[in-house]
Structure 1
Amino acid sequence: MKIAICDDEPIYIETTSRLLQKWAGEHGIEMQIFTYDNGDDLIAAHTDECMDLILLDVIMPLLNGIDTAAELRANGQDVPIIFLTSSREFAVESYEVKAFHYLLKPIDEIRLFAVMDEYRKQFCKTKETFTAQTVTGFYKMTIEEVACLEAQNKLVLVTFSNGTQITIREPFYKCEEIFHMDRGFIKCHRSYIVNLMFVEQFTKTEVTLQNGMIIPISRNNYAAFKEVYFRYMFQK
């Protein structure tokens, strides 16, 4: 997570950085903090670094925080912004530039942590993973990147959206418990599970994935597959 702090007072940069690192440590989040003492430098840096979040002082010489945020928005940047200020008088202006939050100085740890928790909930959707046993050890995969799974005797061949494949030593029934409909997967054949996200087209007998793979649909599974697929598409 890349976070920028922009404040012309070093003491507030130091305090805010320390609190953010504490919050990140408590949540096991890897964080990079970039600090700036003026809006112009922040704007230039954001263009290069693409920050995930900006904590921005409102009252600064030259380009103040509101004008800095307005320039970011004018440039098409929708990065979440938390304003830091010692005055409530800029609340309306912060709303106009679509600020995510507004914190009063001195920064209160409990309040900052609550805002960061809210930010994390809204913007940091953690990708679900599954760690499977392989022939050589273990492999941690991101579930949404799996295109399909194929049972091969006591092994399972996993194909990812980018075309790469890995063989895992897991029972197929266990894979069914992990790769289920709530996660966008469906069993279309006794030996196959597919990710609906990567389905290009299907007929009564087969599914074609976006990577060109063709997977059989069993006669008993076709009706359920068709129903689930269209429900999934309408909910996207």
Structure 2
Amino acid sequence: MYIAVCDDQIEELEKVMGLLQAWQTDRRAAVRLRSFRSAGELLDAAQRERFTLYLLDVLMPGVTGMEAAREIRSFDDAADIVFLTTSPGFAYESYGVRALEYLLKPVSAKLLFPLLDRLYQREQNPQDGLTVRSEGVLVRLPFSQLSYVGVMGKHLFFHMTDDSVHEVVGALKEYEGALLARPEFMRTHRSYIVNMLQAEKLSPAGVVTFSGRSVPVSRLLYNQLQKDYLKLLFSGRDA
């Protein structure tokens, strides 16, 4: 994992870099870190190097973090983007560049470390997934890119994070063992299993994924689902 951090305030930049270094040491993670004081400097480097994660301050002089994110998306659709800012006013705008998270300063280890954990785990096991037969073709579906599975009649629909959908003839019980054995996959309804690491919102009305899809939640399952979701996000690592 190659992480770029950009903030025009030196104190904030040093604080975030310190958190990243502490996480790296604690997890013994093989990651590279690079810091920038301006979005222009970051964009110059991003044209030459492939960062896997950008931590961007939103409010910077000259090119803002939001503008930098739009530029990054013009040549890199795969990298994760996380905004770090004192203002909640840009949260809605951040969805336009498919930002993974929008964290308010001061950023703490309690918020940042679980995010880094799941990204690092995803990178270490990129091909861990299911193989299904869709339209006569065998397709490999990495767990990290599977948003949710829904069933309608005798057909399953595997919804991916890139909005593609793979239709499979079969029953949900054929796959639920492999899915529910993983902590990130949870049953929200008798007809749906969701990757809760792809959940942007959870309420009694349903789950909204980062790709904007809505998935129903059973009233009977909601309370336990909420507990399991919080446990997943804050998986016992206190800082």
Report deviation, 1:125. 2.0
- The answer to whether 1:73 aligns with 2:86 is no
How far does residue 109 in structure 1 lie from its aligned partner after superposition?
1.1
| Counterpart residue number, 2:96 | 96
Instruction: Report how far residue 19 of structure 1 moved.
Output: 0.7
Match of 1:107 in 2: 107
2-structure distance, mates of 1:183, 1:84? 34
Q: Deviations over 1:156-193 (max 9, x none)?
A: xxxxxxxxxxxxxxxxxxxxxxxxxx999xxxxxxxxx
Change (3 A) 1:124 1:89: farther
Distance in 2 between residues matched to 1:38 and 1:32, nearest whole Å = 19
CA–CA separation in structure 1 for the residues paired with 2:124 and 2:52: 9
One-letter code of the match for 1:17?
Answer: M
Q: Choose 1 or 2 for highest CA Rg.
A: 1
Structure 1 unaligned residues grouped into runs of 5+: 129-181, 185-228
**Contact persistence 1:52–1:79 (CA under 8 A):** yes
Which residue in 1 is equivalent to 2:21? 21
Partner secondary structure for residue 34 of structure 2: strand
Determine the C-alpha separation between the residues in 2 that align with 1:125 and 1:102.
25
Q: Distance in 2 between matches of 1:126 and 1:26?
A: 22
Contact 1:7 1:13 (C-alpha < 8 Å) held by counterparts:
yes
Counterparts of residues 192-207 of structure 1 (less than 5 Å): none
Q: How does 1:1-236 map to 2 (within 5 A)?
A: 1-125=1-125, 234-236=138-140
Bigger Cα displacement from structure 2, 58-67 vs 25-34: 25-34
User: Given the two structures, how large is their TM-score scaled by the length of structure 2?
Assistant: 0.52
Between the two proteins, the alignment pairs up a number of residues equal to 140
Cα RMSD of the aligned pairs, angstroms, is 2.8
Cα-to-partner distance string for 1:27-66 (whole Å, 9 max, x where unaligned): 2212221111111111110121211111000000011011
Q: Secondary structure of 1:90's match? A: helix
Partners in 1 of 2:115 and 2:52 — Cα distance? Answer: 14
1:21 touches 1:31 (CA, 8 Å); kept in 2? no
User: How far apart are the structure 2 equivalents of 1:102 and 1:124?
Assistant: 24
Supply the distance in 2 between the matched residues of 1:48 and 1:76 (Cα, whole angstroms): 12
How far apart are the structure 1 equivalents of 2:121 and 2:33? 20
* Rounded Cα–Cα distance in structure 1 between residues aligned with 2:65 and 2:75: 15
Deviation at 1:119, TM superposition (A): 2.1
Structure 1 residue runs of 4+, over 4 Å off? Answer: none
Task: Flag the 1:127–1:28 CA change in 2: closer, same or farther, 3 A.
Answer: farther
Tell me the alpha carbon deviations over residues 59-90 of structure 1, each in whole angstroms, 9 at most, x when there is no partner: 00011011110111123443111100001110
CA 1:15–1:234: 2 relative to 1, 3 Å: same
SS at match of 1:4: strand
CA contact (8 A) 1:91 1:102 kept: yes
User: 1-side partners of 2:71 and 2:44: how far apart?
Assistant: 11
Q: Which amino acid in 2 is paired with 1:58?
A: V
Task: Give the Cα–Cα distance (whole angstroms) in 1 for the partners of residues 71 and 139 of structure 2.
Answer: 36
Flag the structure with more relative contact order, 1 or 2, with Cα contacts below 8 A and sequence separation at least 6: 2
